Amino acid sequence: MGKESILVRGNKTLSGEVKISGAKNSALKLMAASLLGQGQSTIQNVPDISDIAIMSDVLRRLGASVQRIDHSLLIDTSAVDSFSTPYELVSRMRASISVLGPLIGRFGQAQVAMPGGCQIGARKIDMHLVGLESLGVLFEVDHGTLIATTPDGLRGAHVVLEFPSVGATENMLMAAVVAEGSTVIENAAREPEIVDLCNMLCDMGARISGAGTANIEVEGVPLSSLHPCVHETIGDRIEAGTFLAGGALTGGPVTVQGIDPDYLRMAIMKLKAMGCVVSCGEDYITVSRNGDLTSTDIQTLPHPGFPTDLQAQFMLLASLADGISVITENVFENRFMFASELMRMGADITLEDHHAIVRGAGALQGAPVSSTDLRAGAALVLAGIVAEGYTTVYDIQHIDRGYEDYVGKLRSLGADVTRTDAPAQV
């Protein structure tokens, strides 16, 4: 259990406006993509969170210089002379595997420690490997390290992904951009973060079409023709969805600013189905609720389906809604640990395989709870805000991985939340 915790005083409401940070799940890959351009790239709107700090260390270990100026990262990859990422860094953040594709693109080889699983699942990378093998990459595993070589160089291919894996699509893109000939990635991931990565790669000189659709086409170009760029990270749709869930929970109105509403169409649809009023502008979304929350069923799916990263937050809404909601987790094999913690606060949830049957309870009671992953942790804090009494959320290092100043932003909306490094005496 981590040292720090968040103490939450309940029976509060959230209202006001909060500025959304740049997307963690895009910025990490944009940083990896900078390896393909010799020189200094600037990535703007990068959230100040621990995962970004770890990825900065990964790039520095490869020989890059990484400097943060406010929310911009200046990354100079001129001196990158290594293609090896050791276990002690990959074990701190499995997303380090995102350097695999660009290292292969830059050096024709890579040595990256195999990432482990995590609380929500095995997090395999078999689709990454199969996809890259189609481009001519040979893999060996040597004592936990992935050894990638391209004896005949990278060659374009028509690849069909078994599942629209975000990570596999990204790693393949960052190798295919410098492969000989053209590549088609069929059944590609369609997340907004994929589009953001493709936009940056094109800004660097790559030739990609179909980003955001299930069929992405890449025309390989020489590595030497790729150059650094300045790129602004898109807003974090999951952070935005988390604060919108907080507004829906307590009635709002809560406005999230700096996010394209198109990224959250399914979540907005579900907020409306649960009795909320949602209005959108070009770069903001406002949620409010007057009547009771009503139950709804949710299936998590690859984008544009309902995002698995909002599953915990909406299970919380369902736990206080009238009626029964069935939530089905189709993306990860073990992402219901949040339910166990929420039940300790009085939620009425039955887990059956990858379904959670959630019966609306009248109210939740504050309790000591523990974050199992960053989204569950963020949702537990929201649960504490609406619960009766005090809640202490432990293991908040998970939250710090993906939410910049989560406590400060919640306080600006009226929450009574405090970070504390000692067990709360309440």
Which residues have a catalytic role annotated?
A: 118
Q: Report the alpha-carbon angle 262-268-271, nearest 5.
A: 175
Q: Does 132 bind ligand EPZ (CB under 6 A)?
A: no
Q: Does 22 bind ligand EPZ (CB under 6 A)?
A: no
Phi–psi pair at 30, nearest 5 degrees: -65, -40
Given 32, 49, 73, 95, the residue binding ligand EPZ (CB under 6 A): 95
| Closest approach of ligand EPZ to the CB of residue 242, in Å | 10
The answer to whether 203 and 231 have CB atoms below 8 angstroms apart is yes
Tokens of 35: 């390896």
Which is closer to ligand EPZ, CB of 353 or CB of 421? 353
Q: Does 123 bind ligand EPZ (CB under 6 A)?
A: yes
Omega prior to 304 cis, within 30 of 0: yes
Binding mask 149-188 for ligand EPZ (x = CB under 6 A): --------------x-xxxx--------------------
Binding mask 279-318 for ligand EPZ (x = CB under 6 A): -----------------------------xx---------
Which is closer to ligand EPZ, CB of 175 or CB of 367? 175
Given 127, 342, 358, 367, the residue binding ligand EPZ (CB under 6 A): 127
| Closest approach of ligand EPZ to the CB of residue 387, in Å | 23
Given 11, 79, 126, 292, the residue binding ligand EPZ (CB under 6 A): 126
The answer to whether 320 and 249 have CB atoms below 8 angstroms apart is yes
Which is closer to ligand EPZ, CB of 223 or CB of 337? 337
The strand ranges marked E within 163-311 are: 182-186, 207-209, 215-219, 230-232, 254-257, 277-280, 284-288, 298-300
Which is closer to ligand EPZ, CB of 7 or CB of 200? 200
Task: Write the DSSP string, 380-403.
Answer: HHHHHHHSBSEEEEE-THHHHHH-
Given 16, 79, 88, 124, the residue binding ligand EPZ (CB under 6 A): 124
| Closest approach of ligand EPZ to the CB of residue 329, in Å | 10
Given 43, 56, 128, 237, the residue binding ligand EPZ (CB under 6 A): 128
Residues 358-377 that bind ligand EPZ (CB under 6 A): 374-375
| Closest approach of ligand EPZ to the CB of residue 166, in Å | 4
Q: Which letter does DSSP use for residue 360 in this model? A: P
Q: In terms of C-beta density within 10 A (0-12 exposed, 13-18 middle, 19 or more buried), how is residue 221 classed?
A: middle
Tokens of 65: 């210089």
Given 25, 85, 96, 370, the residue binding ligand EPZ (CB under 6 A): 25
Which is closer to ligand EPZ, CB of 235 or CB of 402? 402
Which is closer to ligand EPZ, CB of 123 or CB of 355? 123
Which is closer to ligand EPZ, CB of 189 or CB of 285? 189
Given 83, 243, 306, 332, the residue binding ligand EPZ (CB under 6 A): 332
Q: In terms of C-beta density within 10 A (0-12 exposed, 13-18 middle, 19 or more buried), how is residue 414 classed?
A: middle
| Closest approach of ligand EPZ to the CB of residue 128, in Å | 5
* CB neighbour burial string for 73-86, b if at least 16 within 10 angstroms, e if fewer: bbbbbeebeebbbe
Tokens of 194: 């994929």
Amino acid at 397: Q
Question: What is the side-by-side strand order in the sheet with 65-69?
Answer: 65-69, 72-76, 40-44, 230-232
Which is closer to ligand EPZ, CB of 7 or CB of 264? 264
Point out which span in 7-15, 82-90, 117-125, 314-322 binds ligand EPZ (CB under 6 A): 117-125
| Closest approach of ligand EPZ to the CB of residue 121, in Å | 5
Residue 365: how many CB atoms within 10 A of its CB?
16
| Separation between Cα atoms, residue 126 and residue 85, nearest integer Å | 19
| Separation between Cα atoms, residue 252 and residue 372, nearest integer Å | 27
| Closest approach of ligand EPZ to the CB of residue 134, in Å | 13
Question: What is the side-by-side strand order in the sheet with 215-219?
Answer: 158-160, 182-186, 215-219, 207-209
Closest CA to 374 of 46, 16, 49: 49
Residues 378-407 that bind ligand EPZ (CB under 6 A): 402
Contacts with ligand EPZ, residue ranges (CB under 6 A): 25, 28, 95, 121-128, 163, 165-168, 308-309, 331-332, 374-375, 402
